[in-house]
Chain A
Amino acid sequence: MTKDRNRGITRSKWFLPSFSLALGLVILAVAWLGGHPGEGVFGLAGLTVFGLIFLLAGRSETIRGLRGDGRDERFAQIDLRATAVTGLTLLVALIVAWLVAIARSQNGRPYDWLLAIGGLSYLLAVVWFRWRG
């Protein structure tokens, strides 16, 4: 029941634009606290434009798939593959950054921590999905 309701929320065409706006507001608040309100306004403006594009460009099936309201089983598979490619890209970037840091006689932080979190998350996910069948 809860799962279905959550799926309904993420499949609404308002979810991604609302999320973008909320994230923009969080960035503004954090930047303001950090003493860089200009960067926060820039971030909010960028994410608001991003959200508006996704809200208004509803004719494209790709946009509707990304937004969630036009998502079907094929797009879910595309999303899964794209997520895997993104994860792999991040992993390679982190390994390279960690190696560069070590070669420069630095301690490799925070790349080593991020790699450890990534590796642990992967192992836990494998165990979880294997257990779930």
Chain B
Amino acid sequence: MKNAVRDMRMRKNLAQGQLAKAMGVSRQTINSIENERYTPSLPLALALARYFGVTVEEMFDDQGS
């Protein structure tokens, strides 16, 4: 699914590993989400949106997938 995780992470100057640690997942999972190979669960999507202070719709685009 198309998403803005990479953009938002870069804006915060975070490494994938740092974001992964904050979310309690592996670095590979963050990488897979950014590369649209893995669609996160609802709890993880909510946690990501909450972490970056945006809505889930602003972070994930189900129309563009």
Q: Chain A interface (Cβ within 8 Å of chain B)?
A: 61, 64-65, 70, 72-75
Distance, CA A75 to CA B38, complexed state (A): 11
Given A73-B41, A74-B25, A75-B26, 5 more pairs with CB closer than 8 A: A61-B26, A72-B25, A73-B29, A73-B40, A74-B32
Main DSSP-derived SS at the B contact region: loop
Q: Do A73 and B27 touch (CB < 8 A)?
A: no
Number of B interface residues, CB 8 Å?
A: 11
Q: Do B28 and A61 touch (CB < 8 A)?
A: yes
Residues of A close to B32: CB separation below 8 A = 74
Q: Chain B interface (Cβ within 8 Å of chain A)?
A: 24-29, 32, 38, 40-41, 44
Most interface-central of A61, A64, A72, A75 (chain B CB within 10 A): A72
Distance, CA A61 to CA B29, complexed state (A): 10
A-B contact pairs, 13 of them (CB 8 A): A61-B26, A72-B24, A72-B29, A73-B25, A73-B40, A73-B41, A73-B44, A74-B25, A74-B26, A74-B28, A74-B38, A74-B40, A75-B29
Residues of B close to A74: CB separation below 8 A = 25-26, 28-29, 32, 38, 40
Most interface-central of B24, B26, B29, B38 (chain A CB within 10 A): B26
Residues of B close to A70: CB separation below 8 A = 26
Distance, CA A89 to CA B26, complexed state (A): 29
9 A-B pairs with least C-beta separation: A72-B25, A74-B29, A73-B41, A72-B26, A61-B28, A61-B26, A74-B38, A72-B29, A70-B26
